[in-house]
Structure 1
């Protein structure tokens, strides 16, 4: 299953705040990836399928500069990334070794990777920003990844920011961070999310008119009927 253009287009108009509310109503509480802050404020909202990468703690015989040329390396993983994906990297929350720098990010941008999300940090910060690749992370650190991490594999289930992410899950990311929508729930969730966003837009209009919050947010039966009449008139 792949993310359809219609679902992608719909999610690009929806905030991660709305997405988490809808997922909460579906019983999913742990969907917001901790530590995924925008490297540059004002980055556009990005939606795409997760391409997962996983690091484990550094082990001296494996975490070496020579490992960068291994068939199982971050370089090889980047070459396997399809255009439009979002790279989601499990760095175990480590903040004293940068997982990627400017050259790797430049290659990702050249391959039309939509964005990079990690619970770790980047290095070569000015260069990474210069590539134009949208990045969400915990900040920057000068040391390379092998100073604290060993690259393990790609396209397997990971834990990023304390959240389970599977290859092909849908990622929505904006100034509030990254949210995962399980692949099997995307169609259902999109329908609910669009309705929720429309309702909240109407509620905001009512708030601006001076309507009190009790009975409005959340909407009681009377206000729900008023909203539905409004929504019908918009069609």
Structure 2
């Protein structure tokens, strides 16, 4: 049974769009979560903007010759059917088991995802048709490219179920934030607490950076001691 896709509050998207994945990993570390950065995900195109959305998961398993065939592309359980189930604003998170010799998606599937207003694609695998995929405008984070189709090394099995992607457990409707440093997961149940802490952390670090640019030393500033905390709080009141 697949899990129903949920929407993400636009206000939350706006807030997280101003928070770096580096800041999020720090906030999540303070909450006891260390394994939230998906390994093997790099921007396909330089300069891709940060994207935020709920995870729409897809899962591949190792290739089996009787299942991973061109005919399977038209089956009810296929990457094509999964794309048609993706809601606007989601981020497709694909468990490709780190396989790098077969592209999970190409330009046509990515073009359809773009038409469906999918926010982005994240995978620990690779894509194919690189130039065409870049041309669709769909933001993609992956390990690179390969010419062979997915069926050469992988079998697609389902969507909207728990997966492992880049060594991270991803559940449908978890929140993904992806930027030039890669993809970070926020567990759905911790969303509100993480957003509040992350926005505050981003503001604090912005203030610290301004102090550093003015020549301040790091000791007692990063992290701030009591005196600098008081200075920051006084400053923060003027911008809230």
Match of residue 209 from structure 2: 204
State whether structure 2 residue 55 is matched by structure 1 residue 57.
no
Match of residue 36 from structure 2: 31
Match of residue 196 from structure 2: 191
State whether structure 2 residue 233 is matched by structure 1 residue 215.
no
**In structure 1, what is the Cα distance between the partners aligned to 2:119 and 2:51?**
7
**In structure 2, what is the Cα distance between the partners aligned to 1:83 and 1:3?**
10
Match of residue 142, structure 2, among 124, 137, 143 = 137
State whether structure 2 residue 23 is matched by structure 1 residue 10.
no
Could you say what the CA RMSD is over the residues aligned between the two structures, in angstroms? 0.7
SS of the equivalent of 2:227 reads: helix
SS of the equivalent of 1:196 reads: helix
Runs of 4+ aligned structure 1 residues displaced above 6 Å come to: none
Q: CA deviation at 1:3?
A: 2.2
Aligned length: 235
SS of the equivalent of 1:77 reads: helix
**In structure 2, what is the Cα distance between the partners aligned to 1:179 and 1:10?**
15
Q: CA deviation at 1:2?
A: 4.1
Aligned positions of 1:156-195 closer than 5 A? 156-195=161-200
Match of residue 94, structure 1, among 84, 94, 99 = 99
TM-score of the pair, normalised by structure 2: 0.97
- Map Cα deviations across residues 196-235 of structure 1 (whole Å, 9 max, x no partner): 0000000000000100000000111110110000001223
SS of the equivalent of 1:53 reads: strand
TM-score of the pair, normalised by structure 1: 0.99
Match of residue 232, structure 1, among 220, 227, 237 = 237
Match of residue 126 from structure 1: 131
Unaligned runs of 5+ in 1: none
Match of residue 47 from structure 1: 52
**In structure 2, what is the Cα distance between the partners aligned to 1:111 and 1:192?**
32
**In structure 2, what is the Cα distance between the partners aligned to 1:129 and 1:108?**
13
